Amino acid sequence: MNAYRFTLHGAELHALPSGALWWPAERMLCVSDLHLGKSLRYARHGGAHLPPYETRDTLARLEADMDGTGARQVICLGDSFDDTMAAHGLDPEERQWILRLQAGRAWTWIEGNHDPGPIDLGGAHQGEVQLGPLTFRHIAAPGAEAEVSGHYHPKAGLRGVSRPAFLLDRSRLIMPAYGTYTGGLRARDKVLAELMGPEALAILTGHRALPIPMPRAAPPRSRAQA
């Protein structure tokens, strides 16, 4: 699977190259920020006309990860839909695809800032979830311990190539965005630098999950250095 294996507060986890998180002991797969229906929301609001295939591409990658791991639990960590209308605007084939993925599995939709309320699909709808030692929520809570969150779509680069990335320190994991049409926030951004400890890693997605020291912004130059 070319995953990066690590332990967070006693839980042995795998960061998958796809941007999903796998917890073998719980047979649980976690994904964040699918943003299904983003192309349709752009079209509704007169924005760029993106090819309307991102929902099916995202679901195909999710199905591949579920099949590859044998997941029996799935947690979608918020912003699963780009807005409430996108959740209700799925075409019948996409809706049936999601219902098929849910069949025989414990499935949880965690509320995000884009999809703050329940949707008319199967599964449980929660503000956050406690599973073993870990708390799963959409937005990181400053000072929290043993936390897995999303929201920020972190990205980091190596040799000039930027990739979606997990951010990991002793207290928390921030997930990359899983959706096909999602931008990202650079790991060196102030909000992420303030959340993550000095020992934090950025785990790049791609062909394999590759850990590097989390990039940090250069300190400001003093007048004496100028």
User: Does residue 225 belong to any structural domain of this protein?
Assistant: no
Rounded to the nearest integer, the mean pLDDT of the chain is 89
Report, as an integer, the average pLDDT of 13-40.
91
Report, as an integer, the average pLDDT of 197-211.
97
Report, as an integer, the average pLDDT of 103-119.
86
User: What does the pLDDT look like over 57-93, one tens digit per residue?
Assistant: 999 999 999 999 999 999 999 999 876 666 677 888 9
- Burial 88-103, CB ≥16 within 10 A → b, else e: ebbeeebeebbeebee
State the Cα–Cα distance between residues 142 and 128, nearest whole angstrom. 15
Report, as an integer, the average pLDDT of 93-105.
94
Please, what sign has the CA dihedral across residues 68, 74, 78, 80? positive
User: Does residue 226 belong to any structural domain of this protein?
Assistant: no
Residue 60 to residues 83, 158, 219, Cα–Cα distance (Å): 21, 27, 42
Q: Is pLDDT of 52 > 70?
A: no
User: Does residue 224 belong to any structural domain of this protein?
Assistant: no
User: What does the pLDDT look like over 177-199, one tens digit per residue?
Assistant: 999 867 789 999 999 999 999 99
Q: Is pLDDT of 224 > 60?
A: no
State the Cα–Cα distance between residues 33 and 7, nearest whole angstrom. 23
Report, as an integer, the average pLDDT of 98-117.
90
Q: Is pLDDT of 45 > 50?
A: no
Which tops the pLDDT comparison, 87 or 217?
217
Q: Is pLDDT of 40 > 70?
A: no
User: Does residue 219 belong to any structural domain of this protein?
Assistant: no
SS3 147: strand
Query: What are the phi and psi torsion angles at 10 (to 5°)?
Result: 90, -10
State the Cα–Cα distance between residues 38 and 55, nearest whole angstrom. 8
Question: What was the pLDDT predicted at 217?
Answer: 87
State the Cα–Cα distance between residues 1 and 16, nearest whole angstrom. 7
Domain ranges, residue 22: 4-213
CATH code of 21's domain = 3.60.21
User: Does residue 14 belong to any structural domain of this protein?
Assistant: yes
User: Does residue 199 belong to any structural domain of this protein?
Assistant: yes
Question: What was the pLDDT predicted at 28?
Answer: 98
User: What does the pLDDT look like over 131-141, one tens digit per residue?
Assistant: 999 999 999 99
User: Does residue 222 belong to any structural domain of this protein?
Assistant: no
User: Does residue 221 belong to any structural domain of this protein?
Assistant: no
Query: Domain total for the chain?
Result: 1
Residue 6 to residues 24, 116, 148, 201, Cα–Cα distance (Å): 12, 31, 13, 11
